[in-house]
Amino acid sequence: MTYLQAKHALCNAHLLRELTYVLENYQQVWAETMLKLLMEIHQAVLDAKAVGEAALFPKQLADFQNRYDQIVVEGLWVNPAPEPPP
């Protein structure tokens, strides 16, 4: 996948640190859930590579995507966008 308009991205190490900060400083459960999911995905990729697979199975990917999306919804619910200024 190519993002033609992307100007910035975080690597997973930075993302894990940001999630850890949110968890430790704001005790937001969704951040811990996302941390665990990202580590689970990483392990699944390592496991797949160890047995010679070039990619995760489509069902695995769909499951990870659904879980990721659910966690994002929870994070957005806990942290709604601020009201626009008048």
Task: Provide the mean pLDDT of the chain.
Answer: 93
Which long-range contacts (C-beta less than 8 Å, at least 24 apart) are formed by 66-71? 67/37, 68/34, 68/37, 71/30, 71/33, 71/34, 71/37
Is the pTM value of this prediction over 0.75? yes
pLDDT beyond 90 at 11? no
CA-wise closest residue to 41 among 16, 73, 76, 22: 16
**Residue found by looking up tokens 């990917």 in the block:** 61
So where are the chain's domains?
A: 30-78
Categorize the per-residue pLDDT at 2 as very low, low, confident or very high, splitting at 50, 70 and 90.
low
The neighbour count for residue 71, using CB atoms within 10 Å, is 20
